[in-house]
Amino acid sequence: MEVIKGGAIATEKRLTSEELSTIQNLNAEFTRAKIALGDIELEKQAVLTKIDMIKATFAENEKVLIDKYGENAVINIQTGEVTEKKE
């Protein structure tokens, strides 16, 4: 097909079906990768929120234990043994 533009004849060019298919597939793959990255970021944010909640709960429990056993108490996480901090 020829189109006349400004007195000159321009020939319309098209990709081959193989070229078009390749570029469409690559574009779709790129879009899927971007969506996957967005999903990962959302999951990351959820994990970070969970970590913040765990840290806050840990701090609350730590305060209770300090009140009960004193500021110099050292607690063995594996055994539950409470000793005094060595200075």
* 66: CB partners within 8 A, 6+ apart: 73
Question: Does 8 map to a domain?
Answer: no
Rounded CA separation 54/73 (Å) = 22
Domain count, the chain: 1
Q: Is the pLDDT of residue 84 over 60?
A: yes
pTM for the complete prediction?
Answer: 0.65
Question: Does 63 map to a domain?
Answer: yes
Q: Tokens standing for 65?
A: 């234990």
Question: Does 56 map to a domain?
Answer: yes
Return the percentage of the chain with pLDDT > 70, whole number. 89
Residue 8: its pLDDT value, please? 65
Domain range enclosing 27: 15-84
- For 28-57, write each residue's pLDDT tens digit: 999 999 999 999 999 999 999 999 999 999
Q: Tokens standing for 85?
A: 């901090």
Mean pLDDT computed over 8-22: 87
Burial 13-47 (b: 16+ CB within 10 A, else e): eeeeeeeeeeeeeeeeeeeeeeeeeeeeeeeeeee
Three-class secondary structure of residue 14 per DSSP: coil
